[in-house]
Amino acid sequence: MAVRDIRIVGDPVLRTRCEEITTVDDGVRSLVADLIETVDADGRAGLAANQIGVSLRAFSWNVDDEVGYVLNPRIVDLSTEEYQDGDEGCLSVPGLWFPTERAWYARVEGIDLDGNPMVVEGEDLMARCLQHECDHLDGMLFLDRLERSVRKHAMREVRERF
């Protein structure tokens, strides 16, 4: 297990759609251990594999004192009537936070390290985390979800800092 360096906006791996995990081997087990160790720090809610340079569909979370992971996650349900519009940040865009609309509730299905089906769901911060990390695995950053005027300001700040 190791705490891994976080890739920063501008790194092409963050814009690449991650590959499905077809075999859970020692490399995948090591990846999950690193994801969990790296996300288990103050101020970190979630971490996708591509944020540490690995283009596989896996992420970890650290929300409300619960640390976990999921492989091959896919969003299967989002609240369509209730939304949240709070500030969102990203380890790959350090120090910048912008209002980002997300569904209030999200449900993700995937597999665990034994290949068994698993479900992860939540409201509020957990729902935001699930949506944010699944976006990462599809090569999206939260910046892509910003309202146009906010995005313009955000991209100016990104260019100035990174």
List the strands of the sheet with 66-78, edge to edge.
46-48, 58-63, 66-78, 105-111, 117-123
Mean pLDDT over 42-47 rounds to: 93
**What pLDDT does 23 receive?**
97
Please give the span between the terminal C-alpha atoms of the chain, in angstroms, as a whole number: 29
* pLDDT at residue 42, as a whole number: 85
Q: How far apart are CA 21 and CA 72, in angstroms?
A: 6
- Selected catalytic residue, list 19, 101, 133, 160: 133
- Domains in the chain with CATH codes: 12-161 (3.90.45.10)
For residues 36-48, average pLDDT: 94
* Predicted confidence (pLDDT) per residue in 47-85, tens digit: 999 999 999 999 999 999 999 999 999 999 999 899 999
Dihedral over Cα of 4, 70, 64, 137: its sign: positive
- Give the span between the Cα atoms of 94 and 161, in whole angstroms: 9
133 in active site: yes
Average pLDDT, the chain: 97
Mean pLDDT value across residues 139-154: 97
